[in-house]
Amino acid sequence: MIVVADAGPLHYLVLVGAVDVLQPLYTRVIVPQTVARELQGAGAPDAVRTWVAPPPEWCEIRPDPPSHPALQFLDPGERAANALALSLDADRLLINEWEGRAEADRRHLHVTGTLGILAEAHQQRLLNFETALARLRQTNFYLSAELVDRVRRSFKLR
């Protein structure tokens, strides 16, 4: 399975102590260079910067491919992640931001965000969804009750 990640899911999975679920779920995660730079930036939490420098063996950083002009409205990381997922014909794009997800949907990419990853990891018995959700609520991750309910219903977590 080819999985490409934007910064958001990696950032929050590191913060809640769940980033290691990615390897058993997807085997290998590919990250565009622009996203890696975002994760290493001065504004990133220490835990995130430490995790990405150097990343674990299952996380591969690749150069950004040329992006389609229609993606220029996205932020650089979302643009690079979408372009790399398209160029690799990825099985999944890990991305949180609404505009980046919408653009990936338009290009028929399968997307999963942080909550979806946590739910999938729960189903595989890699973590407890409610515990991870409580940790996520302690960060600045935006969680609406509607989104949490939708994920619970989708993954039959109730």
Task: Report the CATH number that the domain containing residue 22 is assigned in CATH.
Answer: 3.40.50.1010
In this prediction, residue 70 carries a pLDDT of 85
Coil, strand or helix: which one is 121? helix
Provide, rounded to the nearest whole percent, the portion of the chain with pLDDT above 70.
99
pLDDT at residue 158 greater than cutoff 70: no
Q: What is the mean pLDDT of residues 89-100?
A: 96
Which residue range(s) make up the domain with 19? Answer: 3-154
Tens digits of residue pLDDT in 22-50: 999 999 999 999 999 999 999 999 999 99
pLDDT at residue 69 greater than cutoff 90: no
Q: What is the mean pLDDT of residues 90-96?
A: 97
Q: How far apart are CA 7 and CA 39, in angstroms?
A: 6
pLDDT at residue 8 greater than cutoff 80: yes
> Has this prediction a pTM greater than 0.85?
yes
Residue 58 DSSP class: T
Alpha helices in the chain (DSSP H): 7-15, 22-26, 33-40, 46-52, 76-88, 98-106, 114-123, 129-137, 145-154
Residue 64's pLDDT band (boundaries 50, 70, 90)? very high
Q: Give how many domains the chain has, as a whole number.
A: 1
pLDDT at residue 122 greater than cutoff 90: yes
pLDDT at residue 134 greater than cutoff 80: yes
